[in-house]
Amino acid sequence: MKQRILVADDDAGLRRLIGTTLGSSDFELFQAVDGEEALAMAREKHPSLVLLDVNMPRLDGFAVCQQLKSDPATAGMKVVMLTARATDSDRARGREAGADDYFIKPFSPVQLLNKVYALLE
């Protein structure tokens, strides 16, 4: 069975890059363009992993992560924050929200692929 991954980012180019990077037979990918859509899709599709941008319209990634991790139906999903915000306080906010990892943009597609496989093992 394919692992389900939700990619939530308002940047269409980045969603395409991640889709190309992870577009193998190992994964079933879903995409969301804002925080509210990400929450709804996570609840509907039950992905194993959520790649979550921090700066998104309607609901930011920290809020989405916190809601996913506090709901028993979605708490088991792995969440990786994707962001250009690399300060210690941003990382701390990600940890407080329950993120499993924090990945800084720009990133290497190979690094992302390795991270995804490691988290899904």
CATH code of the domain made up of 3-120: 3.40.50.2300
The structural domains of the chain, with segments of one domain joined by +, span 3-120
Over its C-alpha atoms, the chain yields an Rg (Å, rounded) of: 13
Strand order in the sheet with 49-53: 27-32, 3-8, 49-53, 78-83, 101-104
At 13 the pLDDT is: 93
What does each C-alpha distance from 67 to 22, 38, 40 come to in angstroms? 25, 11, 11
At 71 the pLDDT is: 97
Contact 102, 94 (CB under 8 A): yes
Cis amide leading into 57 (omega within 30): no
Mean pLDDT by 10 residues, the chain (121 residues): 93 93 87 97 97 94 97 97 89 94 90 92 86
- What are the tokens at 53? 């941008």
At 25 the pLDDT is: 72
At 111 the pLDDT is: 92
CA angle 64, 37, 50 (to 5 degrees): 55
Global pTM reads: 0.94
Residue 90 makes CB contacts below 8 A (sequence gap 6+) with: 54, 83, 102
